[in-house]
Amino acid sequence: MTFTRGVSIKRWFDLAWSGLLWGLMILFVVNVALMIAAVATNSFARRWLGTWLPEGWTTQWYTAAWKEFQLDSILMVTAQVVLAVVLLSLLIGVPAAYTLARRNFPGKRLLLLLFLLPLMVPPITYGIPMATVLYQVQLAGTIYGVILANLIPAAPFVILVMTPFIEQIDPNLESAARVFGAGTLRMFWYVLVPLLGPGILAASLLVLVRTIAMFELTFLTAGADSQTLVVALYYAVFAAGVRAPQSVDAMAMVYMAVTLAWLLIALRFVNPTQLVSRVKENPQPA
Amino acid sequence: MTAVSHHASREAVKDDKNMTTASHAAPRAWFDPALWLVVPAAAFMALLFIYPFLYGLALSFAPKEGDWLANYTHFFTTDNLWPTIATTLKLALPATLINVGVALPIAFKMRAKSRHQRWVTTILVIPITLGTVLIAEGLLTYLGPKGWLSQFLQYFHLYDAPIRLTHNYWGVLLSLIISGFPFAFLLILSYITGIDPVLARAASTLGADSRSQFRHIYLPLLAPGLAMCFCLSFVQAFSVFPSAVLLGSPAGPTRVISIAAYEAAFEVYDYSLASAIAMIMGFVQLVIVAAVLALRGVFYRGPVTGGKG
């Protein structure tokens, strides 16, 4: 008798516990969704004061935001920065990842620590001394400064993502290429790069999504004509008193559309957990 | 077996290289040419990460006026500077505890690979990629005095007074939870799925229910991962900047240390003081991280996968 009652109390407790967890999760997701919906509604609102829904709908805020914030040039700068960061971080990161995956050498652990640090230390902490140096050499305030600053977390990130992809490629393939007389460069280009295709794609998409959303480093190094979308959004919210809140929200929607579009593309090729941590599971072979 | 063949082929590659280099003028046979591949990355990091850091450290001891410690004495004696440490900790510690504390049981519940695991992780990655600036703007609209939350509470008479969740401490705390909770969840989930489920299955054949599996198998194995997750979440929360400015009251209760550093650098143009504040910020983070990692040493260390034997 007492035994069955003990079991039923336990089952009741388990049920309550998982109900609580699911409840918290749903509360979180619903509130985030409503937050995004509020921005979207406001960006299309004609007048919206203290009612559930606005009095009328309009798209005028998008044209207003496009003109006010000069979104075309901002989007252009964002595209240039992101493209440069992705290409350069691959160019720097993939060869380094190759050596780290294949070779053992004295000082390897120290080097790994060096590549891990920028992902552990938050951007604001190292960004301020770095921006100071970039201002000394007069690179800050230009698009080149923004690209260099964004490469600091991007290049080590590529190394961390690529290393497991390289580790699972059979070294015999490289030996075979060498037997047939391929030099390091030809071996790299004709054997490794095609085999690493999925890994390179994953790494570049992850860097791309992270660079679009990277606020702090861009904020610290950007000048008036080298702002990316997220920094322009910050200034728009910061000076919110001057402009209509709907127009700021329209800008936020443009930012959200750009980020989410690339996120959706990225999620076709990578696991969501890869955005926050290094690859744990074995990557799919080519 | 694969390990042996890898090893052998690696030797073969090395021999091959040695031969080619030997046929040239033989520049130092012990230096593996493949190491050149890592040089650009290492040089880049040295130039843009290590050098600025050391430069900032040196600069912080070369103040505009006064002796070499003047920046630090200035920081700890000025009324709108030294309290920023406590202000930041008051935001970062509760946010981190909530994020990790709530993420752990939920991630544990979803440890089995399933359809809704994929869905939940996909949904939760959205707030992370949107970033803190968008979350700040969204919360300003959503939580504002005329926003949906306030209307909802008043409509159902849950709370009739006007709610004040923006431009104060609570707004910033909420934004830290919105961006930090998914991060903690995804990180813990990737640690939990890295633990071999065979271990838990072995425990369950011996009669362990899910709670004692958690306590005796998962928690000890997770300890290093949890410590890491706590550190990363804390460090992110500690450097909160955009939401503290946009969603908080940057002159008052959410004047965090990164605001102080930013003002010193870009409003007063005192790079020396700004570097000093950045160094203090890094130091406080280091102290907390070291404390958490020392605590982790109390727990089990070892492999997280079951042996095949």
A98 contact residues in B (CB cutoff 8 A): 34, 37
Q: SS3 for B36-56, per residue?
A: HHHHHHHHHHHHHHHHHHHHH
CA-to-CA distance for B56 and A237, rounded, in angstroms? 31
Contact yes or no for A259 and B131 at CB 8 A: yes
- Closest approach of B255 to chain A, Cα-based (Å): 15
Backbone region of residue A65 per phi and psi (left: phi > 0; alpha: psi in -120 to 50; beta: other values): alpha
CATH number at residue A82: 1.10.3720.10
Do A126 and A157 fall into the same domain? yes
B186 and A35 within 8 Å at the Cβ level: the answer is no
Task: Assess whether A45 and A104 both reside in one domain.
Answer: no
* A87 and A190, same domain (yes or no): yes
Measured in angstroms, the CA of A102 and the nearest CA of chain B are apart by 8
Regarding whether A207 and A120 lie in a shared domain, the answer is: yes
> Which of A38, A114, A277 lies at the smallest CB-CB distance from B42?
A114
Q: Does the pTM exceed 0.90?
A: no
Q: What is the mean pLDDT of residues B77-95?
A: 92
**pLDDT for res B302:** 61
Query: Which of A9, A36, A58 corresponds to the end of one domain?
Result: A58
Task: Give SS3 for A45.
Answer: strand
Question: Residue B300's pLDDT is what?
Answer: 58
Q: Taking a contact as any Cβ pair under 8 Å apart, which residues of chain A between 70 and 89 contact chain B?
A: none
What one-character DSSP code corresponds to residue A133?
H
Task: Please count the structural domains in chain A.
Answer: 2
The string of pLDDT tens digits covering residues A26-81 is 999 999 999 999 999 999 988 887 788 888 888 898 998 888 888 999 999 999 99
* Closest residue to A118, CB basis, from B49, B148, B277: B49
Same-domain check for residues A26 and A154 = no
ipTM of the complex: 0.86
pLDDT for res B6: 46
Domain range holding A175?
A: 60-275
Confidence of residue B277 (pLDDT cuts 50, 70, 90): very high
Residue-wise pLDDT for A145-168, tens only, equals 999 999 999 999 999 889 888 888
**CATH class given for the domain over B80-296:** mainly alpha
Mean pLDDT (chain A) is 87
Considering only residues B217 and A281, tell me which one the structure prediction assigns the higher pLDDT.
B217
Query: Are A85 and A75 within one domain?
Result: yes
Q: Kindly identify which residue of chain A lies nearest to residue B40, measuring between CA atoms.
A: A92
Return the amino acid letter for B162.
P
Which of A13, A24, A100, A124 would best serve as a mutation to test chain B binding (most B beta carbons within 10 A)? A124
